Structure 1
Amino acid sequence: MRGRLAGLVGLAALLVGCGAAPAPAAAPASDPTLPARLVATASGDRAHAHLERLQAIADEHGGNRALGTPGYDASVDYVAETLRAAGFTVDTPSFDVRAFALQDKRLTVDGAPVEAGAMGFSPAGEVSAPLHVAGTLGCTPEELAGTPAGAVVLVQRGTCPFGVKSQNARTAGAAALIVSNSEDGPLDGTLGDLDGTVPSLGVSKAVGEQLATRAGAPVTLLVAATTTETTSRNVIAQTTTGNPDRVVMAGAHLDSVPEGPGINDNGTGSAALLDVALALGPAPAAEQAVRFAWWGAEEVGLVGSTRYVEGLSPEDAARIALYLNLDMVGSPNPGYLVYDGDDSDREGEGPGPAGSAAVEQVLLEQLAAVGVQGSGTDFDGRSDYGPFIEADIPAGGLFTGAEEAKTPEQATQWGGTAGTPYDACYHQPCDTLANVDRQALDRNVDALAGTIGRFALTLNGVPPR
């Protein structure tokens, strides 16, 4: 795709930067009651009905909705047809993507098998070599200086993407990489479609701590995998009213992992977004145009959103006033997390682009309006806001947590069970309808509706770019 849409005539220039923006359609004056009406109209129950359809699609197509599968294509068709029936003009632009398929993975230490998770886009290979314990995150080549040539190097999770760690391991002379989780539970992920990496696996925090005491132990690491060329599609729809030079954009990834139907990850974000789009309608009485996107190939490295942002001209990127991301908003042991736009938590990455603090504040206000005190979570690059903040577009979003464990303080604040994951079925076959907390989904639908309604009326706090 690389951001170029077909079939939208005047709207195409706005969406992908191929020319001047179209004039907005005639509409009544903006309605100051829009946020309240949108919250009242949006419905967690209706969002759940969309989840039921996504579950049925997975059931009908081999149990998942992953990249390159009939289940994903049927998911795209369902979202697009539902929007068109409501009066939206919709496009489903395609883009090229490389698909990773894992056949086998194994890790042994001193001859004993060790549980390890896959890293998507890991090079295939089998390495037998001594274990080198780096004792660092491996985010710069200097951190891995002194790695013996041909070693299997152990690094810690955090700060930089897995692919960067793997590239740095190769630069340092290592033949393979093990990443130790920073949280309880197993670790899988993706290196992204990068060159210059080494065969890579992830291990749990407990296993990583054990390995850290075994420097020099003989290790065998095996990755058997193939990478193929395929195509995928995004879904894009925009209101015909509102200023097309100051667009409020919201998105969610529509694909699942191959292991399961992906109903919380990320059926919940996709369903919440679809319900709010339908509640808003194609021609609301708003000051700003509102654009909705359902991304493909997120689970293999944010490919759909990345191709979209890459395809924007500088002028069209500047027309996006802000981006809101929805990823996993119905976790069964939910947190109520908002991306930390102002870096007030002083954890991980720094603040988002100017205007991200205002996005965070409005999202927190909207959660408070439904009786929930939200907390910040780091812009760690794990979802589709990543390409937007890299393009200096203000961003924020809602998240109820993945494989990390809920803390005792969070359990006191929000309920649920301390010491267990927000979503124990993250990237597992059990991520089904039974894996969704309907109250969390409903609250996040309302928070999204109120936030889109507010920014559709006024962009106070979000500077022009």
Structure 2
Amino acid sequence: MRHLEQLQVIADRSNGTRAIATEGFNGTLDYITSQLEQNTNLIVSRQYFTVRNYIIQGMPQLQSLVDGNIVNHLYLTDFTHILFSSRANFDTFVPVVVIPNLGCQDSDWTNASAADSVALVKRGDCTYPEKSALAEKYRVKGLLIYNDGTAPDRFQPIQGVRNNLNTTIPAYFLSYNLGMQLGNVTTNTSVIMNIDVSDANGIGNICADTTTGDKTKTIVVGSHSDGVTAGSGINDNGSGTVGNLILALNLAHLFETSSSYSTYKYRVRFCWWGAEELGLLGARYHVDQASLPSTTTVGERLQDYLVNLNYDMLAGPNYRFGIHDSSTVPSTTPTQARNGTSQITDLFRQWFSEQNLPWSNASLGGGSDYVPFLAAGLAVGGVNTGAGGIKSASERDQYAAILGIGNGGLANAAYDPCYHQQCDRITNINPFAYEKVVKAAAYAIEYLGRLNDLEKWLYPQGRLKNFELFNRHQLYDFRNDPDLI
């Protein structure tokens, strides 16, 4: 809690955020690094990468010309910028073409004759990146995606919508009302889009390695260090950041000071990934670099990694103990990763059961930094306390039956009601849940570290070694992330 309080101070000094490219994010990395360097002999390193087209310069503009009437629309009220989309500098009005059927099929675009126009398409059916990819394919000058108005929270423009990392067209997300106005087929509509964006450079990952253990058989323990723009990110993911820091500090202390605590056969690498909130960018970059044929340094190659344990959101107020369920891995997961992932799932289930604690299944879809490791053929696992999902009455009753009446939490309420909101502050932490999850994480490291043959335990049929055969830019499947639809 003392470390979490420091992250709250860091966020408060940065206008209440620890998102990348802010003082709060940089301060978080400095805090992690200083704690590791001052209190351990772990080998600490930073890895930097660039997030393209992330920083908005000045005020974006959207101007419409509808039947001769010019209207200037308000940024954040009528429209937002879709992240990673390129700059725009229209000097004249460009015709708007309405794309039918939600723009998820090639036929939608060919029938609309969208080339050299600004395409207008409604949210739904497929992801924003998929719509954008089709827009680029059919050579539009700009893309406008508008909300669908199907629920009270689907009228306003959304901040933080993400595009493909390498998109070459400008794109805005519009309110439902503005989308309907511009999409009125009885009107003659054109728009001007102007926005200046720049790259966010020097976004950092941190890794800290034990000085002992086989570098070619590394246990990677990861969490993301950034938060969203709208909030301090103390549960998401200050809790994982600090939980991982505590694991690193304590293991290093035992290795360095206790004569009765022997070191592991395997190296342990603790990592803090940047820009997870923008699409797992730090972890994806790390896996990308580690799998390059040109990466030949022993200990830095993906083939040197045995397993990735991931900790993202560990202290939600209406918590569940969500163990990543190996049966939910995506169908595209390499077969080599499945056995070890199942072993780790069972390991956590056994621990919670032996501690007389309830547990729940958590999906291994597209939600956190384990994804690129899993997609590359590594076994993964972890525990979380839940995000915006809803605790059911049956789950509440299950927990109350074990923890005691009144201790099962609130039914029909979010596990974290402050998920991605301003109220995700130090008051949003459940210390009881936090302690249990971090103890489970420590147990997993200890158990794996003491196995005589961790590689065979994870991969009895052998594991993938030719990691460079993977298309590194397709490790993350956007369709696994519902926030992008």
- Please give the secondary structure, in 2, of the residue aligned with 1:276: helix
CA separation in 1, counterparts of 2:305 and 2:458?
11
Aligned to 2:10: 57
Aligned to 1:201: 173
Whether 2:20 is the aligned partner of 1:67: answer: yes
State the shift of 1:372 in Å.
Answer: 2.1
Cα pair distance change 1:164/1:132, threshold 3 Å: closer
State the shift of 1:77 in Å.
Answer: 1.7
Cα pair distance change 1:171/1:412, threshold 3 Å: farther
Whether 2:101 is the aligned partner of 1:134: answer: yes
Choose which of 277, 293, 298 in structure 1 pairs with 2:271.
293
Aligned to 1:96: 50
Choose which of 358, 372, 379 in structure 1 pairs with 2:358.
372
Cα pair distance change 1:52/1:217, threshold 3 Å: farther
The answer to whether the Cα contact below 8 Å between 2:53 and 2:199 also exists between their aligned partners in 1 is yes
- Please give the secondary structure, in 1, of the residue aligned with 2:435: helix
Aligned AA for 1:358? Answer: Q
Alignment map for 1:318-329 (pairs within 5 Å): 318-329=303-314
State the shift of 1:196 in Å.
Answer: 4.0
Cα pair distance change 1:124/1:365, threshold 3 Å: farther
Cα pair distance change 1:132/1:69, threshold 3 Å: same
Aligned to 1:23: none
Aligned AA for 2:223? Answer: A
Aligned AA for 1:195? Answer: T
Q: Which moved more, 1:243-252 or 1:70-79?
A: 70-79
State the shift of 1:135 in Å.
Answer: 5.7
State the shift of 1:290 in Å.
Answer: 0.9
Choose which of 137, 141, 160 in structure 2 pairs with 1:171.
137
For normalisation by structure 2, the TM-score amounts to 0.70
State the shift of 1:447 in Å.
Answer: 1.8
CA separation in 2, counterparts of 1:104 and 1:334?
40
Q: Which moved more, 1:436-445 or 1:147-156?
A: 147-156
Choose which of 422, 437, 447 in structure 1 pairs with 2:440.
447
CA separation in 1, counterparts of 2:327 and 2:120?
38
State the shift of 1:201 in Å.
Answer: 2.9
The answer to whether the Cα contact below 8 Å between 2:324 and 2:345 also exists between their aligned partners in 1 is yes
Cα pair distance change 1:425/1:240, threshold 3 Å: same
Whether 2:243 is the aligned partner of 1:272: answer: yes
Aligned to 1:77: 30
Aligned AA for 1:322? Answer: V
For normalisation by structure 1, the TM-score amounts to 0.73
State the shift of 1:122 in Å.
Answer: 3.6
The count of corresponding residues between Structure 1 and Structure 2 is 403
CA separation in 1, counterparts of 2:411 and 2:328?
25
Cα pair distance change 1:428/1:343, threshold 3 Å: closer
The answer to whether the Cα contact below 8 Å between 2:222 and 2:270 also exists between their aligned partners in 1 is yes
CA separation in 1, counterparts of 2:46 and 2:5?
22
Structure 1 spans left out of the alignment, 5+ residues:
1-47
State the shift of 1:337 in Å.
Answer: 2.5
Cα pair distance change 1:403/1:194, threshold 3 Å: farther
The answer to whether the Cα contact below 8 Å between 1:331 and 1:400 also exists between their aligned partners in 2 is yes
Cα pair distance change 1:433/1:98, threshold 3 Å: same
- Please give the secondary structure, in 2, of the residue aligned with 1:93: strand
The answer to whether the Cα contact below 8 Å between 1:269 and 1:328 also exists between their aligned partners in 2 is yes
Cα pair distance change 1:152/1:402, threshold 3 Å: farther
CA separation in 2, counterparts of 1:78 and 1:256?
15
State the shift of 1:330 in Å.
Answer: 1.8
Choose which of 229, 237, 251 in structure 1 pairs with 2:208.
237
CA separation in 2, counterparts of 1:361 and 1:180?
42
Whether 2:399 is the aligned partner of 1:432: answer: no
Deviations, residues 9-65 of structure 1 (Å, cap 9, x unaligned): xxxxxxxxxxxxxxxxxxxxxxxxxxxxxxxxxxxxxxx221111111112233222
CA separation in 1, counterparts of 2:55 and 2:270?
30
State the shift of 1:451 in Å.
Answer: 1.4
State the shift of 1:321 in Å.
Answer: 0.2
Aligned AA for 1:389? Answer: L
CA separation in 2, counterparts of 1:75 and 1:93?
15
Identity among equivalent positions (%) equals: 26
State the shift of 1:244 in Å.
Answer: 1.9
CA separation in 2, counterparts of 1:376 and 1:428?
22
Choose which of 258, 262, 273 in structure 1 pairs with 2:229.
258
Deviations, residues 415-445 of structure 1 (Å, cap 9, x unaligned): 3334433333222222211122222222211
The answer to whether the Cα contact below 8 Å between 1:65 and 1:258 also exists between their aligned partners in 2 is yes
The answer to whether the Cα contact below 8 Å between 1:163 and 1:191 also exists between their aligned partners in 2 is yes
Whether 2:458 is the aligned partner of 1:462: answer: yes
Larger-Rg structure: 2
If asked which structure has higher relative contact order (CA below 8 Å, sep 6+), I would say 1
Structure 2 spans left out of the alignment, 5+ residues:
256-261, 400-407, 464-485
CA separation in 2, counterparts of 1:182 and 1:253?
33
What is the alpha-carbon root mean square deviation over aligned residues? 3.9
Aligned AA for 2:144? Answer: A
Cα pair distance change 1:375/1:305, threshold 3 Å: same
Aligned to 1:392: 377
State the shift of 1:392 in Å.
Answer: 2.1
Cα pair distance change 1:262/1:116, threshold 3 Å: farther
Aligned to 2:124: 156
Cα pair distance change 1:356/1:58, threshold 3 Å: same
Aligned AA for 2:425? Answer: T
Cα pair distance change 1:416/1:117, threshold 3 Å: farther
Cα pair distance change 1:145/1:364, threshold 3 Å: farther
- Please give the secondary structure, in 2, of the residue aligned with 1:92: strand
Cα pair distance change 1:343/1:87, threshold 3 Å: same
Cα pair distance change 1:365/1:318, threshold 3 Å: same
Whether 2:197 is the aligned partner of 1:226: answer: yes
The answer to whether the Cα contact below 8 Å between 2:119 and 2:135 also exists between their aligned partners in 1 is no
CA separation in 2, counterparts of 1:181 and 1:272?
40
Cα pair distance change 1:176/1:450, threshold 3 Å: same
State the shift of 1:271 in Å.
Answer: 0.8
Cα pair distance change 1:191/1:231, threshold 3 Å: same
Cα pair distance change 1:336/1:231, threshold 3 Å: same
Cα pair distance change 1:133/1:293, threshold 3 Å: same
- Please give the secondary structure, in 1, of the residue aligned with 2:326: coil
